[in-house]
């Protein structure tokens, strides 16, 4: 039973970075060669976070979390594409208006799907109907879900999160 539990833990945490925990990071920082390791790990984690932002799930894929990668790609993609098909509003970058800026940040968080908006929404947004308004929320929710995935991938890459 004990052996099975140990095996399960190994297969679930099969990332190459899982063997280093947050405590190890602190120890490494205080050792003579530690800070370099910590810096390189942070850079790697940052690269993984950027990858996770550009293509939802790619960060988890790089960390060999196949299940999560698939879940995040499917959910972010599903939400964003449904939002576009409902003709939701895609906020462009327009500095000055706080609500537009927040909308843009949420939409841009979908990464590659923000770029795909122009292909899926050829006729442009139509928020005169309730469906269009729903679509706007779908796209924003896709961005928020992807942001959560980015933070998750970053924390896993740093070794702060082992699950």
* List 16, 32, 67, 96, residue binding other proteins (CB under 8 A): 67
Residue among 38 and 45 whose Cβ is closer to other proteins: 45
* List 86, 90, 106, 108, residue binding other proteins (CB under 8 A): 86
120 binds other proteins (CB under 8 A): yes
Q: With b meaning 16 or more CB within 10 Å and e meaning fewer, what string describes 32-48?
A: eeeeeebeebeeebeeb
76 binds other proteins (CB under 8 A): yes
DSSP-derived letter for residue 91 is P
Cβ pair 134, 86 in contact under 8 A: yes
* List 17, 41, 58, 87, residue binding other proteins (CB under 8 A): 87
Q: What is the rounded CA–CA span in Å between residue 163 and residue 153?
A: 11
Q: What is the rounded CA–CA span in Å between residue 159 and residue 118?
A: 38
4 binds other proteins (CB under 8 A): no
* List 48, 68, 108, 111, residue binding other proteins (CB under 8 A): 68
């Amino acid at each position: 039973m004990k052996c099975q539990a140990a095996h399960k833990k190994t297969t679930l945490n099969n990332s190459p970075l899982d063997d280093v925990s947050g405590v190890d990071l602190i120890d490494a920082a205080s050792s003579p060669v530690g800070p370099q390791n910590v810096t390189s790990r942070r850079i790697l984690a940052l690269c993984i976070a950027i990858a996770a932002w550009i293509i939802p799930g790619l960060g988890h894929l790089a960390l060999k979390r196949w299940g999560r990668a698939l879940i995040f790609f499917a959910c972010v993609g599903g939400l964003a594409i449904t939002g576009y098909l409902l003709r939701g509003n895609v906020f462009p970058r327009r500095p000055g208006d706080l609500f537009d800026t927040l909308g843009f940040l949420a939409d841009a968080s979908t990464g590659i799907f923000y770029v795909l908006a122009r292909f899926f929404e050829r006729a442009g947004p139509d928020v005169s109907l309730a469906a269009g308004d729903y679509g706007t929320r779908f796209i924003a929710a896709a961005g928020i879900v992807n942001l959560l995935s980015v933070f998750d991938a970053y924390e896993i890459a740093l070794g702060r999160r082992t699950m």
